[in-house]
Structure 1
Amino acid sequence: MAAVLVPGLALAAEPHFPDPQPYQVEVQYPYVAYPTSYQLNDNYAWESSYPFNPGLYYHPYEQQLIVQDELDVTGGILSTDPTGMPLVSIIQGNIPEAVIQNVPPTVEHFPAADPQFQSPSYNKSYSRTQSFGNNIFGGGYAIDAAITATDGSLSEAKRVEAFAEGKVFGTAFNTQKELVRGRVEIRGQQGGANSGTAALYAVGQQIWSTNLSYTFAPAPINWSRTFLSASKTFMVGPVPINVKASLAGGVKLTVLGEVTPTVARLTATPGGWSNVTASASVSIIIASFGVEGSLTLINATMPSTGELFWPLCTINWKLKSNLALNTLSGTLSLYAKIKFLFFSKKWSVTIAQWNGLNYNWTLVDVNGTKDLGMCNYMNGPAEAPDVVAQAQ
């Protein structure tokens, strides 16, 4: 079946979240707020102990001494730029957040054991939330699935319900936002509605919904956009570079199942993905600057199945959730180059470097039968409930 493309918010401008706290990579290069269009080329002192004077002529032998002194002081690598001028390249390495995870532990809840007493409602649910990365770049997902059976009363007939939801969230420069969410719920009731809804959300805004009834299988949804952007200033050498990270990706949802007064059967496969592309800007005049690389933030597919059959004397149920996940793969590096009279210096720093995390799990796969004790008068003394459950 072909996927449905949802125009939704395709023309809406993505929200932007600036982080006002500059990132100081090294102690010797504190943050400096230069005036706009300030000329740093040939106007910023070198680190050599040799006196720096922009108006002074330096003899060739002095130039060689100064460049060598720069190499010794900075630990840089000597090469030549396209114009033939000596170039000292200084690798500042990785910031700690480029490779170190710092997120809350995974939170997971499995279906609870059957109560010892008879209850007017019977519920089985599963949930899991997991994060990756840190406050510079990160991603994560959340899964919720549940089935509920509610006994009838004088005012309301018995009903069966199933629910599934999957979320994907992302972090860039201290801003964490829910990127996509797929939500499906159905309810069957004797003498009442046998229906439900499926909906998709992007950055908290609903972009698609449809009604579900009886046997349903709406066309799969596949939709993409730029979700949001965030910015932060990094000190690359003595240069403040403003980095804008744009989080773009897609939303996916496939739904099928059945709902009747005694059957709630639902398989929902929400998913989402987001990649980071970055751009750089400066407010001063230097030889060159930029950002290199790209980053896969997260790509998650979260199929969940909930089944509830209530023929008469028993409740037969099933809950299953899987996860296919790729997250945090790629590299983002910044560089800044300044001209120093007769040579140039180039600093580079890596702000993200992840090898990729891949998972393909069955998170939960449980099923069972609950004897309601309604037919014991037909079968003699009540027998112990037959409950079968197998979790992975």
Structure 2
Amino acid sequence: MFCVQCEQTIRTPAGNGCSYAQGMCGKTAETSDLQDLLIAALQGLSAWAAKAREYGIINHDVDNFAPRAFFSTLTNVNFDSPRIVGYASDAIAMREALKAQCLSVDTNAHCDNPMAELQLISDDLGELQRQAAEFTPNKDKAAIGENILGLRLLCLYGLKGAAAYMEHAHVLGQYDNDIYAQYHKIMAWLGTWPADMNALLECAMEIGQMNFKVMSILDAGETSKYGHPTPTQVNVKATEGKCILISGHDLKDLYNLLEQTEGTGVNVYTHGEMLPAHGYPQLRKFRHLVGNYGSGWQNQQVEFARFPGPIVMTSNCIIDPTVGSYDDRIWTRSIVGWPGVSHLEGDDFGRLSPRRSRWRASRTAKSRISSPSVLAVRPCSAQPIR
């Protein structure tokens, strides 16, 4: 295991990075290694997606899947090893289908990328973890040095941020072929383990410019669906009644939850990065969106344990729910995962059951936003690498 992508990472005089049985975020060495393997598989998929574009072949399923699966490797998103392997298997299957399409156009089609023919050696997690050692980000650190390794990781993590925004924009119906082409080109190139400092610096700058374009389509998706956000007062006290808490960045999930719970007597509270949702007119119009609960993501094990209803995580940041003993009432959505936690597929939130979960009017939420409770809404929600 080697992971240095977040602010929680272990820092010692000998160097930075989580490289033990478990990272500071709670990610196990197994999951971390399998995420490295998934990234390698996605680099191979992007290599063939870039090649396919040379033949005029654009596969929207691939364009949808690739950044979405890459998003799952961001900090505090998916800790579920079997699902990570499932993404890797899907990536390879899509790559082979794309390769076949290219060969149907040109029998000499070839992709010169070390990840282009990657295959999983087994279905066994232990065997796959051993295979993943080949793709540990710092495997050649002694040969390339700290600067090249750091630049590679800067590019990789910057592209993850873009992938997260691309996924959020895509679920809102936003798609830009040029952005996806650029994503595949960069992802494939990173799969060649580049070691030229100037090229890596140029790549980092390109990713930064790309992120502006992705943020633009995300903003278009959010404002076209939910209106332009305005500074809004947000209640931070408990409201009597049944309740559901929703966290993360996915405004569409929040909208669907509000639509499906309207008129049922269930109050919906936002948490964490979902706070800006209160500024959007088409979300604020729901009277049962009653407030925001809790503080920073890092306090959730205490605050979620106090919340009496179901909790939905739509993106990062999830941390171990067994610590607060609320793992039986927390649900993951989309790319989010935690071993043993119930996962919601699709847009139906009917499986959530707040029947036994009530707050009394006299009870005040113990965790609240710093006063005054005014939200200065940004055009689009933040997606920091933690």
Q: TM-score range by the shorter chain?
A: under 0.3
Larger Rg: 1
Structure with more of its chain in helix, by fraction: 2
- When normalised by structure 2's length, the TM-score is 0.21
- When normalised by structure 1's length, the TM-score is 0.21
Structure with more of its chain in strand, by fraction: 1
